[in-house]
Amino acid sequence: MVDVWSSAAVKVPRIMPLHSTVSYPIDEIPFSSMSADFTSNFINNPTTYESPILTEMIKLNRILLQVIDFNRRCVSEHLDGEALESGIKSLSRELSIWLESLPHHMRDTPENFKWFADRGFGRMFAALYLGYYHYGQLLNYQFLGADSISTSTLYAADCKHHASKLCEVVYRSFATPGSEVMYPAVAHILVIASTVQIHTLLFSGDNGQIRQAKSRLERNFEILLRLRPFWSSNNWNAFGCDVSEDLLYTTSDQILSLGLRDLGYDHVVLDDCWQDVNGRDKNGKLQPELSKFPNGLKSISDHLHGQGLKYGMYSSAGEMTCARFSGSLDHEVDDANSFAEWGVDMLKYDSCYHMGRIGTPQISFNRFKVMSDALKATGRNILLNLCNWGEDSVHTWGMSISNSWRITGDIYDSFTRPDDLCGCNTMAPGDPSCIAPGTHCSVLFILNKVAPFADRSIPGGWSDLDMLEVGQGGMTDEEYKAHFALWAALKSPLFLGNDLRSMPASALTIINNPAIIALSQDPHGRSVTRVRRDTKVAKDQYGEGETQVWAGYLHNGDQAVILLNAAAEDLDMEISLSEIFTPFGPHGSAPHVNYDWAVHDLWADRMPEKTAEELLAAKSEVDRAAILKKANWYNATETPYEQGLHEGDVRLFGEKIGVVEAGGSLKAPVKSHAAKVFRLRRITKEGEKFRGKSIDRVAKDEL
C-alpha cells in the first residue's frame, strides 16, 4: 500500500508488482488473540476469520494503482470519447465488485463500525472505507463541471457521492473514542473531498445540497485544524521530494538576507530525491535528476561556497534510499569520491533498505564505518551525520566514526502527542534495544529517549535529535521556544526544517536568538543532562504530563539551567543549587552550592516581532542590513561565539533578573508546555578570584 501511495505522491519507482503470489495476511482479530502455544489449525480454520481488513485494503490498493495509472493516461494521452468512458466504466465496475463481494459484517454501516471499534479496530475499519471513497472521488473527479462524454453528469454525481461518504466516515471516526484517524493522508483526502463540496456550493441549484455542502465544509475545516500538526510531518519537514536547484538557491539567499548565516546557520542540506530515477549511470556513478538540477551538483556547491555557506547531501547505507533511489551500500568508495568531486561538506547518511545488516552494534558499526573510511580517503573534510534512528546502541559507537548520530525515529510537529508510528512509544524511552524507531516522534518523546545518554555527546560528535520543527505551525510559540532551547542546550545539530521563504516572524525570533544559540556553540561542547523528572503532574489531552530540569556546565564556569513544564497546567517550579550541581558532587557536596549566582533569562532579549516582520518584508539587502544594524543583532561571522563569550558580549548572556544565594534555590513560574531557560553566573566577592573550569579538547571537526 505504501508503495502505491508513495510512488504516486513523490514520483519514485514502484517496487511491488500489481499482482503477487504472496498470501494475504491473517485476519486481525484471530491474530490479536494468538498466544505462544497457537497451532496452525488455528490459522487455517476459516471459522476464526472475522475481519479481513488488511486483506481488503490490499485488494482495494490494487484498484488504486489502476486508477492512478488511468488518470495519468487521461492527462498524457488526452483521453476522451469512447477510450475515456471505457476506462471509467471498467474501473467503476472494479470498485463495485469489490464492495458487493464484502460479507454483511464488513459493510459500511454505523453498527459495523461500532463492532470493530469496540474490538480496537475502529481506525482500520475507517481507513478501509476512506480508501474506497477516496479512490472513487479520485476516479470521477475530472467530470466535475465537464462534458467530455455523454455520461459526464453521472460520473460527476458519483464523485460527489464518494466525497460525501468519505466525510461521513471521518466524522464517525472522530466521534468514536479510540478510532480517530489522525495521520497526514487523511488531511490530504479530506481537502480533496472539500473541493468537491466547494463545487457543489458554487454550481448546484439545489438548496438542500448547498446547505449540506456548507455544513461539511465547516466540519472539514475544524478537522483539518486538528490534523494540522501532522500535515507535513512525513515530508522531511517542509519539502520531502520537492527539491530542486531553485529551492537550494532561494533558501541560501534567505539564510543570508535574514542574517542567519551570521548566527551560525552555515549548511544547506539537500535531502533525498535528488537522483535520476533511472539510477546510476553506465559507469556505476550516482547521477542527479537533470530536470531538478540542470547545472549539475558541483555548480551548487560552487554557488553555496561563494555565499560563505557549506553544502550537505544525502545518501543511505542501504540498497536504496528511503525514497527508493540508489543507495550507497557496497558502493561507498565510488559514492564518497562523487561527493568529494561535487564539493560536498556534509553527508547525511540514512539507514533504509539495509539488506538485513543490522541487529547488533558490531554489524551496524561495520556497515557505517565503510562510508566513514571512504570519506576520509577522499582527502576532503566531509562531516558525517549518521541517521540510523538510534538502532543498535549507536550512542555507544557513533562518536568513533561520525560527527553526529540520530537517536530516535523521525520527529514531527508535536510537543507531547504519542503516536503508534513512533516505534517503541510504549517502551521505556531510554531502552537501547528499541528497533524500528519509525516516525511521528514528539519533542517530549525524543527528550526522554536521549536523557539516559545525553552525556555521550562530546566535542566533534553529538547526539542528533533530528531537525527543528520551529515555524511549521503545529506547536504553540512557547512549545517552539522550549523545543529550540533544549535542542541547543543538548548540542543537537540545529538543522532548520521549515520553509525559510514563508517563515512567520514569530519563528524567526526564536531561531535567531543569539543567547540560546550560544548554548549550542559553547566551547566546552558538552550537553546539558537531566537532573530531575517528575511525572506526578496534570496530564494533557493525550495523557502526557511531566516536568523536567536540565542543567549543564559551560566553558566560562557558567551553568545552563532549563525548567521544562510539560504538564497540562501552569506551575511554579523550583530546584535547589544542590540538585543543579549534582554532577559535581551529590547531596550538596559540590563547592558550587556555596556560591551566589546571578540569574540571566536567555529569552528576555528576544527580537521584537515587529523587527522580525520588518526584516521579512524588507525589499533589499541594504534594507535588511540596516534593520539588523539598528537592532544591534549579533554577528558570529565577525565575532565567533567563543570570542564573544570570552569578551562578555551582553547579547549572549540574556538579561539579569535576580540572584540565587548560596545554598538557595532557583524559582520561576513556568507556563504549561513551556520552558524557562537560564544562565547562572557566579558572583565573585571583592578580592576573590574565580576561574571557570577549563577542559582542553581538540575539536573533532573532521573524520
Q: Which residues are catalytic?
A: 350, 410
Does the CA dihedral 252-253-254-255 come out positive or negative?
positive
Give the integer Cα–Cα distance in Å for 268 and 273.
15
597/664 Cα distance (integer angstroms): 10
CB distance 677 to 562 below 8 Å: yes
The whole-angstrom separation of Cα 585 and Cα 553 is: 13
- Nearest-angstrom CA–CA distance, 83 and 45: 45
Taking CA 273 as the corner, what is the angle to CA 271 and CA 274, rounded to the nearest 5 degrees?
80
The partner residues of 387 in beta bridges, in order of sequence, read 350
Those residues with Cβ within 8 angstroms of residue 206's Cβ, 6 or more apart along the chain or in another chain: none
CA 514 to CA 181: how far, in whole Å? 40
Amino acid at 603: W
- Residue 339 half-sphere exposure, CB side, CA atoms within 13 Å? 34
196: cell is: 468537491
**532 bridge partner residues:** 549
- Given a contact cutoff of 8 angstroms between Cβ atoms, the answer to whether 333 and 374 are in contact is yes
Cell of 155: 460520473
Complete DSSP assignment for 262-280: GGT--EEE--S--B-TT-S
For residue 643 the three cell numbers come to 570570542
Q: Report residue 42 CA to chain centroid gap.
A: 41
Is 36 in contact with 302 (CB distance < 8 Å)?
no
CA 155 to CA 116: how far, in whole Å?
32
Q: Could you give the 3-state DSSP secondary structure of residue 391? A: helix
What radius of gyration, in Å, describes the C-alpha atoms of the chain? Answer: 28
Contact indicator for 521, 492 with CB cutoff of 8 Å: no
Q: 641 φ, ψ to 5°?
A: -60, -40
Task: With beta carbons less than 8 A apart as the criterion, state whether 297 and 308 touch.
Answer: no
In DSSP notation, 469-535 reads -TTSSSS-HHHHHHHHHHHHHTT----B-S-GGG--HHHHHHHT-HHHHHHHT-TT----EEEEEE-
For strand 383-387 and strand 559-565, is the pairing parallel, antiparallel, or unpaired?
A: unpaired
Residues contacting residue 498 through CB under 8 Å, at least 6 positions apart: 237, 238, 468, 469, 470, 471, 472, 507
**Which residues are CB-contacts of 282 (< 8 A; sequence separation ≥ 6)?**
none
CA–chain centroid gap for 312, Å, is 18
CA distances to 27, 113, 173 from 50, in Å: 7, 14, 21
Q: Which residue in 463, 496, 479 sits closest to 565, CA to CA? A: 479
Q: How far is the C-alpha of 208 from the C-alpha of 217, rounded, in Å?
A: 14
